[in-house]
Structure 1
């Protein structure tokens, strides 16, 4: 079988389609959290395996679930009534037989705790990892013989699954706009200037010919928003800044920006959160439902549905290829 095959695509570029749709789930979205926690856990396992045994041992911890809690956000304050639950399931080597005899237990639970708390503390300003989150590992144990592992390494590296990867380049203007808009809204500079905007941000673009409708869902931090007028002012400022930003990313296109379209001010419905994520109030997340590895969800492109987060970075071909 040929190793490489190059063929000209018989279709026009996506940027020339009449209709294009693109989405990005930001760092505070429950699906993003599930992906990020699975990946952080895999990294902690890799570091431990390398430090203690000199090689990355078998693991796939790619089944993450974020179970939404309950909260009572209100203008000027609020509280979390029931914590968010984060569950990670998968497989990992938890016991190693060493060369000179004896066994070493891998502290899987401690590594999971370090991964979860590390990600949340780094990325959320108003989420208390001790009070607002509970986590649980459901890692099926397995043991391995270290001597056998090193003997195997002398041969050709082997895949531990059948999978494939899909990629494309360059990004269309619409794809770039979606990617860069979320990064802008979750940047440290933006948070310093508009701290009321939480981390749970989702950006979706619908382009029809040369017109783009950009819909932004942005959680607001309730303790920093004293009243309805302040909320509406912040929302309008987000809209204005994204409009200015869009003009720098896409040229020759009309961009319409809408923020938190589900709000109903007359009915007292606003997108307020205590912690900055909708996971506090019943919004769940799953590993694999978030962005692809390029940070986007692009239904107009060829895509793999492979959930790369939490997969073994050495032997899982789906992760390596993607």
Structure 2
């Protein structure tokens, strides 16, 4: 890629008059779906790399979680119907004459994922796994005589390393856009820090009743910031409505103190568990601490964006980057790269910046179809172009970090 292919747009935005910021906590079904799918991709990638010397083609980005059923009263909560994991997507189930058993390979990862996150859950009894993995490639696979020389027919059933197209043509598998921006606003940063604080190991010491499916929404208009939270409790550790109310009061006190320290210049209003009805005893009381236990669903791509937030006033792609192939999938690599470039530019310029990278199916990943940087005020454009070019040239470092076990979705 050359510097002439990079567009730089100067913008004058100042401070936005309003913003809306959402975060789905680590126990939210959509967050669970994203993180589980990404862990499966990392595990599969590392396994096939070690066993065959290459990362075999796969995408687990259509994974979904279907809620079970639970029975909850004060002092006791149990799962009565299992949570269903729909293992959906595509993957290579063989390499040459060697077959891969997805059940043996990935099912233990799935059960361990839930075991690590939910102490009240029995992974063997409370998790059902439904394998919907396909080996069919996208359109382009043909059965003409000449096609035997190509790779599309063997995309998920490679005969050997030569059937992995990226080994001799490092091209985008799709036309997709990646978006990144920096820095976070004060409200964005506060929302992220608040959820990580409540769901953090340190805060949960001595609070076995505190669930993880915490959801936040912040709305700022001028200097007024309204924040609403849903905070679940775990029935086995809450014996009465008085305990439930006391626990909520403690959470309110702690989050108020934190928010005042994070946003001292704003007028704050905090709402907590607004759907609770104490008279009818309809409360956010759960068996394991997440709505996935009872009816709710989680789907890859519906949760937080790469930075851990859903900010309606900011640019973002609806691309579900979790569990896409880390070697060549443009929808994954370009989103990760756009954010890295944005962070690098902000670090040098101290100016708000947005980065857009667009792939073109089949085009070399190191030569984006479109690359655009939108930045507040005027800057040295050659510095910006150098950062972008260096980032693109080193795009394979993102793959390396994933293969080393980094899950970009974990905050």
TM-score, structure 2 as length reference:
0.73
1:79 counterpart SS class: strand
Partner of 2:205: 192
Q: Does 1:3 align with 2:40?
A: no
Q: RMSD of the TM alignment (CA)?
A: 1.5
Q: Contact 2:111–2:127 at 8 Å: present in 1 too? A: no
Superimposed CA distance per residue, residues 234-286 of structure 1 (whole angstroms, 9 cap, x where no aligned partner):
00111110011112222301222221111010111111000111111111111
Whether 2:293 is the aligned partner of 1:280: answer: yes
Which residue number in structure 2 is paired with residue 44 of structure 1?
43
| Deviation of 1:38 (Å) | 1.1
For residue 7 of structure 1, give the secondary structure of its aligned residue in structure 2. Answer: strand
Match of 1:129 among 118, 123, 130: 123
CA deviations over 1:141-193 (Å, ceiling 9, x no partner): 3310223147852x441221111111110000110111111101111111113
**SS, match of residue 22 in structure 1:** strand
Structure 2 gap segments, 5+ residues each: 136-155, 336-411
Task: State the Cα distance separating 1:137 from its structure 2 match.
Answer: 2.0
| Equivalent pair of 1:36/1:119 in contact (CA under 8 Å) | no
- Please state if 1:291 is matched with 2:304: yes
- 1:253 aligns with one of 252, 266, 287: 266
Superposed, 1:169-180 pairs within 5 Å as 169-180=182-193
Q: Distance in 2 between matches of 1:136 and 1:205?
A: 37
Determine which structure has more spread, i.e. the larger CA radius of gyration.
2
Q: Which residue of 1 aligns with 2:236?
A: 223
For 1:316, which of 329, 337, 362 is the aligned residue?
A: 329
Name structure 1 gaps, 5 residues minimum. 98-102
User: Hey, what's the Cα distance between the residues in 1 that align with 2:213 and 2:263?
Assistant: 24
Distance 2:260 2:51 in 1: 51
Q: Which of 125, 136, 140 is 2:134 aligned to?
A: 140
**TM-score, normalised relative to structure 1:** 0.93
C-alpha distance in 2 between matches for 1:137 and 1:3: 44
Distance 2:5 2:318 in 1: 23
Q: How does 1:97-112 map to 2 (within 5 A)?
A: 97=96, 103-112=97-106
